[in-house]
Amino acid sequence: MGAFLWSLLLLLREAKGFSGDEEDPEEVIAVLQESIILSLEIPSSEEVKDIIWSSRKNLAVVAPGEEGQPANITVMDPRYRGRVGIPESSYSLRISNLTWEDSDFYQAKVNLKTSQLSITKSYNLHVYRRLSRPHITVNFKISEEGACNISLRCSVERADMDVTYSWLSSQDSTDTPHEGSVVSTSWRPGDEALSYTCRVSNPVSYSTSRLIPVGSFCAEPGYSEKSSVFCLLAKGLLLLLLLVILAVGLCVFRAQKNYEMARVRKLKRNRIKLRKKGKPGPSPV
């Protein structure tokens, strides 16, 4: 079937006076620092003369090997040396250790021994980075009416291009598409406690943030100030506890040392007494 389609394509292009420019390129998505294969399938019935791979300029030339041997590749563009190869029993092109500069237009020009025409296949390669876990910044302000206006900003390190954001709310349990990384909401005392999760995605990966309970940031006026005072008080108590432990330890150490010194003095006195008892008296004349 593949050979029939290939032959039919050759006939159609020959009838049109094909130049190889009207074919829509294949969109290919890849991951930064990983590998990708630009797939090229040629029926085994066709005799390939050579294949010229190009990007901004000629990248490599692939030629069939001797009978029973794999194809040979000659890399012409210095940017790809050591990074391109051909999968076994294939004319496809594998690019390893992808960089941002590899995002480009690629083309494979297939020259056949049995035809004066060349068949071309084009590719648009897009390289993306895998996303890290997003971080959420919370800003809130309590109005005079008691309403708490909350703003959540979602950010991800080195987001690059084509990153989309969506928010999952505990209220509706559905993903809400959102243009941009900021979502705003409001809360009043007595309202249901709300929690939000940010989801970021690009064509090669996605990641979600931790759950953020927004109600706790403004449960009552002065919440943040009270939290700060509580933290300072807790730190002071902890420091006081450490000082007490240190003083008790020092007292125990001194008592132990005094006990040891008294014990040593007592042993010395006992030895002196024993020596006096064992000393012989003066001999009679």
Domain 2-128 and domain 135-220 have a common topology: yes
User: What pTM did the predictor assign?
Assistant: 0.62
- HEC sequence for 75-107: ECCHHHCCCEECCCCCCCEEECCCCHHHCEEEE
Helix (H) or strand (E) holding 225: helix 223-277
Asked if the model's pLDDT at residue 222 lies above 80, the reply is no
Asked if the model's pLDDT at residue 280 lies above 60, the reply is no
Backbone angles phi, psi at 11, to 5 degrees: -65, -40
> How is residue 114 annotated by DSSP?
T
State pLDDT tens for residues 150-206: 889 999 887 777 898 988 887 655 555 566 789 888 877 777 777 888 999 999 999
Give the architecture-level CATH label for domain 135-220.
Answer: Sandwich (2.60)
Q: CA-CA distance, 25 to 36, in Å (whole number)?
A: 16
CA 206 vs CA 87, 179, 198, 201, 213: distances in Å: 29, 16, 11, 4, 22
Mean pLDDT to the nearest integer, 50-69: 88
State pLDDT tens for residues 84-134: 999 887 889 999 999 999 999 999 999 988 777 788 999 999 999 999 999
Q: CA-CA distance, 201 to 132, in Å (whole number)?
A: 10
In which residue are the tokens 């090229």 written?
40
Mean pLDDT to the nearest integer, 143-147: 74
Q: What is the pLDDT of residue 10?
A: 44
The domain ranges of the chain are 2-128, 135-220, 222-272
* % of the chain exceeding 70 in pLDDT: 78
Q: Does domain 2-128 have CATH number 2.60.40.10?
A: yes
> How is residue 164 annotated by DSSP?
E
Asked if the model's pLDDT at residue 11 lies above 50, the reply is no
pLDDT, the chain, mean: 79
